[in-house]
Chains A and B, each alone.
Chain A
Amino acid sequence: MRSIGQSVPRLEGHAKVTGSVEYIHHLRLPGMLYGKIHRSALAHARIVSIDASAALALDGVHAVITIQDVLSLVPNPYYGPAFHDQPILAHGKVRHVGEPVAVALAVDPHIAEQAADLIHVEYEPLDAVFDEIEAARPDAPIIHDVLKPAGMFTDLKHLGGRSGTNVALDARVRRGDIAKGFAEADRIFEHTFRTGKVIHATFEPMVSLAEKQGDGITIHTASQSPSFVRAEVSRLLGWAENRVRVRTAFLGGGFGAKLYIKLEALVAVCALLTGKPVRIGLSMDEQFYTITKHGATVRIKTGVTDDGRMIAREVETYWNGGAYADIGPRVTQKSGFTAAGPYDIEHVALDNYAVYTNHPPAGALRGFGISQLVWAYERQADIIAREMGIDPLAFRRKNVLREGRPHATGTVVTDMEIDAVLDLLEKRMDWRRPFDRGTGVIRRGRGLAIGLKACISPTTSVATVLLYGDGSCALHCGTVDMGQASDTAMAQIVSEVLGIQTQSIRVVRPDTDVTPYDMATLGSRSTFHMGNAVRAAAEDVLAQVFHIAATSLDTEVSSLECVDAEVVSSRGARMTLREIMLARFAMQAGTIVGTGSFAPHYKKPDPATGQSPDVTPFWMLGGAGAEIEVDTETGRIEVTKLVNVADVGRALNPASVDRQLTGAAIMQVGFTLFEEMVFSDGQVVNASLADYKIPGFLDVPRDISAGYVEVPHRNGPYGAKGVGETGVFSPSPAIANALYDALGVIVHDLPLTPERVLRAIRQAENRPLGDE
Chain B
Amino acid sequence: MKNFELVEPATIDEAVALLDPDDAGVRAIAGGTALMLMMKARLFEPVRLVSLRRVNGALRGVRENAGGGLTVGAMTTLTELERSPKIAAALPVMSRALHTLSNVRIRNVATLGGHLAHGDPHMDLPPILLTLGARVRAVSRRGERWIDIADLFVGYYQVAVARDELITEIDVPAQPAGVHTWYAKFAALSADDWPSVGVAVWYRTDGERIAEARVAVSAATEMPLRLAGAERALVGNAPTPQTFAAAADVAAEAIEPVADIRGTAAYKREMVRVHTRRALAQALHTGRAAR
Contacts and interface: CB of A to CB of B under 8 A. Distances in A.
The answer to whether A and B interact is yes
Interface of A: 110, 113-114, 117, 283, 285, 633-634, 636, 670, 674, 678, 685-686, 688, 690-691, 693-696, 698-699, 753-755, 758-759, 769-772
Contacts of A633: 274
Contacts of A691: 261
Contacts of B186: 634, 636
Contacts of B40: 283
A109 B170 CA distance: 39
A634 B271 contact: yes
27 contacts: A110-B2, A117-B42, A283-B40, A633-B274, A634-B186, A634-B274, A636-B186, A674-B189, A674-B190, A688-B37, A688-B41, A693-B192, A693-B193, A694-B190, A695-B190, A696-B190, A696-B191, A696-B192, A699-B191, A753-B189, A754-B263, A755-B188, A755-B263, A755-B264, A758-B267, A758-B270, A772-B266
A680 B265 CA distance: 17
Contacts of A636: 186, 188
Contacts of B196: 754
B103 interface: yes
B266 A771 contact: yes
Given A772-B266, A772-B269, 7 more contacts: A283-B40, A636-B188, A694-B190, A696-B103, A753-B189, A755-B263, A759-B267
A694 to B, nearest CB: 7
Contact of A755 (B1, B37, B267, B274): B267
A735 to B, nearest CB: 15
Interface string B134-176: 0000000000000000000000000000000000000000000
A94 to B, nearest CB: 21
Contacts of B37: 688, 690
Q: Which 9 pairs, one residue from A and one from B, show the smallest C-beta to C-beta distance?
A: A698-B191, A693-B190, A772-B266, A693-B189, A674-B189, A772-B265, A755-B267, A770-B266, A110-B1
B272 to A, nearest CB: 11
Interface string B1-44: 11100000000000000000000000000000000010011100
A541 B271 CA distance: 67
A688 B261 CA distance: 12
Interface string B37-61: 1001110000000000000000000
Contacts of B195: none
Contacts of A688: 37, 41
B194 to A, nearest CB: 8
Contacts of A285: 41
Give the interface size class of chain B.
20 to 34
Interface of B is mostly: loop
Contacts of A695: 190
A696 B40 CA distance: 22
Given A113-B1, A688-B41, A699 B190 contact: yes
A285 B1 CA distance: 15
Given A114-B2, A283-B40, A285-B41, A686 B190 contact: no
Interface of B: 1-3, 37, 40-42, 103, 186, 188-193, 196, 257, 261, 263-267, 269-271, 274
A669 to B, nearest CB: 10
A695 B1 CA distance: 30
A690 B267 CA distance: 21
A769 B257 CA distance: 14
Given A634-B271, A686-B261, A754 B266 contact: no
Given A110-B1, A113-B1, A114-B2, A772 B257 contact: yes
A670 B189 CA distance: 9
Nearest to B188: A754
A528 B269 CA distance: 53
A674 B3 CA distance: 38
Contacts of B267: 754-755, 758-759, 769
A685 B42 CA distance: 15
A10 to B, nearest CB: 24
Given A633-B274, A772-B264, A110 B3 contact: yes
A698 B269 CA distance: 26
A699 B192 CA distance: 8
Contacts of B190: 670, 674, 693-696, 698-699
B217 to A, nearest CB: 16
A772 B271 CA distance: 14
A693 B263 CA distance: 14
Contacts of A698: 190-192
A693 B266 CA distance: 22
Contacts of A686: 261
Contacts of A696: 103, 190-192
Contacts of B269: 772
A691 B264 CA distance: 15
A526 to B, nearest CB: 30
A678 B266 contact: no
Contacts of B192: 693, 696, 698
A630 B144 CA distance: 50
A3 B157 CA distance: 59
B190 to A, nearest CB: 4
A755 B37 CA distance: 27
A28 to B, nearest CB: 18
B188 A753 contact: yes
Contacts of A753: 188-189
